[in-house]
Structure 1
Amino acid sequence: MRNLTSPPKLVIFDCDGVVVDSEPLTLNLLCEDLASHGLSLSLPEVIDLAVGGTIGGIGVQAKAMGAAILDDWADQFYEKMFAVLGQSVELIPGIEAVLDALDHQGIPFAIGSNGSHRKMGITLGRCGVAERFAGRAFSPEDVANPKPAPDVYLLAASKIEIAPGDCVVIEDSVAGARAGVAAGMVVMGFTHDTPAAKFAGITDMLFDDMADLPALLGLNAQ
């Protein structure tokens, strides 16, 4: 486990649950949808199944667990999810102040998500921050493998020309945290909706309030 001794040269945020508060909306919809397909799971069970994964991967697992879903299930679920997010999603409280603090000190930031570009366009657009991540929002569509593979984080660092060891990843999922570790980056676990115990032995530090992040990143030290 490593501690920051100075501000990072690049901060890479996961999108869902870190920048936009999309997880509760998506998880509740997923719980209802799987139940309608014959797989009744509690919300905690759906969280374990889904957080940090891809919709396609969730469909494969759900089918293996007995859900009566067809090959086009993921496409149908995406359309339902996009409609809900486009109407209701909001920013994670405090994230804009974090972005402002990074801008103030000239530290670039990016997104490395397991969500699609279309999904990020909807959520970031509705929340009014799409322009802040223009050209710096990366998805599994851009790489060979989704998280927990490090591909999307390594791509972000490469595009912005920052060495992985000088990057910090902000994650709310175990899969994403493992991706950041595999990329050789400092990983900070956001525990606002994720139990801290899930990050045990993986992340370099934990926090549960975005208001604390600028100080943890050393942005107030300069």
Structure 2
Amino acid sequence: MRPSLVIFDCDGVLVDSEPITNRLLREDLAARGLDLTLERIEEIFVGGTMATVFENARALGADLPDDWVDWFYEQMYAELAKGTPLIEGIEEVLDQLDAAGIPYAVGSNGSLRKMSITLGSHPALHARLKDALYSAHALGVAKPDPELYLKPARDAGIAPEACAVVDDSATGCTAGVRAGMRTMGFAEHNDGARLKAVGAEPFHRMADLPGLLGL
């Protein structure tokens, strides 16, 4: 059944920002006494907020100052502003949703400033999405809480069961499942087992999403 609304995560679903952020995070944590592989960084931190990164990294032994979150955001924003590539095939997905008359929104644990930087690298895409961006920083609640996906559905006047979520992290997919929405787990670089384990339907190529949504 076709959804009446599709809600996308941003990082790792619309923009390929996670490799940039993870590399920067790995380098900084290593300099502060916590030397983790990129794979371990992804496993522990992807899908959370920078506040939870701070808490978890400190618990694992990183020597982080109290103002680290704000400091790291500025380093991250500067790096992302150099240019953040799109996920291959995402513009074609939005084209097909437009052709089918299906609206879409974005629900991200990232800040609106971050989305304006990453999506802003692609003005045409940003223009399509800028009025439907939902941030955990603005709402005051983050995934895995389902509110970040329920709020756009309420604003659109569409029941959760008529919505589809597209997310690439177990945290985000958990939010989609808890919201009562069909949840598509984008597993571009892995087998999707962690996403399937929380109730998502894994897929591996963005080009396959329209068919999976019945477009």
TM-score tier after normalising by the smaller chain length: over 0.9
CA contact 2:195–2:201 (8 Å) conserved in 1:
no
Shift of 1:108: 0.2
Asked if 1:127 is matched to 2:116, the reply is: no
Q: Residue in 2 aligned with 1:110?
A: 105
Question: Which of 57, 66, 82 is matched with 1:62 structurally?
Answer: 57
Asked if 1:191 is matched to 2:191, the reply is: no
Q: Residue in 2 aligned with 1:93?
A: 88
Q: Residue in 2 aligned with 1:51?
A: 46
Question: Which of 29, 34, 48 is matched with 2:29 structurally?
Answer: 34
Deviations 1:85-119 (A, max 9, x none): 11131110000000000001110000000100000
Q: RMSD in angstroms over aligned alpha carbons?
A: 1.1
Q: What is the SS of the residue equivalent to 2:148?
A: helix
| Residue identity in the other structure for 1:107 | I
Q: Provide the aligned length of Structure 1 versus Structure 2.
A: 214
TM-score by length of 1: 0.93
| Residue identity in the other structure for 2:13 | V
CA contact 1:165–1:184 (8 Å) conserved in 2:
yes
Q: What is the SS of the residue equivalent to 2:164?
A: strand
Question: Which of 172, 179, 203 is matched with 1:176 structurally?
Answer: 172
CA contact 1:146–1:152 (8 Å) conserved in 2:
yes
CA distance in 2, matches of 1:73, 1:194: 31
Q: What is the SS of the residue equivalent to 1:168?
A: strand
Q: What is the SS of the residue equivalent to 1:135?
A: helix
CA contact 2:165–2:184 (8 Å) conserved in 1:
yes
Report percent identity of matched pairs: 50
CA distance in 1, matches of 2:46, 2:147: 18
CA distance in 2, matches of 1:67, 1:216: 42
Shift of 1:143: 2.3
Shift of 1:144: 3.6
CA contact 1:189–1:206 (8 Å) conserved in 2:
yes
CA distance in 1, matches of 2:132, 2:103: 9
Q: Which runs of no fewer than 5 residues in structure 1 stay unpaired?
A: 1-5
TM-score by length of 2: 0.96
Shift of 1:204: 4.1
CA distance in 2, matches of 1:144, 1:208: 31
Deviations 1:57-112 (A, max 9, x none): 10111011111101110111111111111113111000000000000111000000
Asked if 1:209 is matched to 2:205, the reply is: yes
Q: 1:84 to 1:194 in 2, by over 3 A?
A: farther
Shift of 1:182: 0.6
CA contact 1:11–1:109 (8 Å) conserved in 2:
yes
Asked if 1:152 is matched to 2:119, the reply is: no
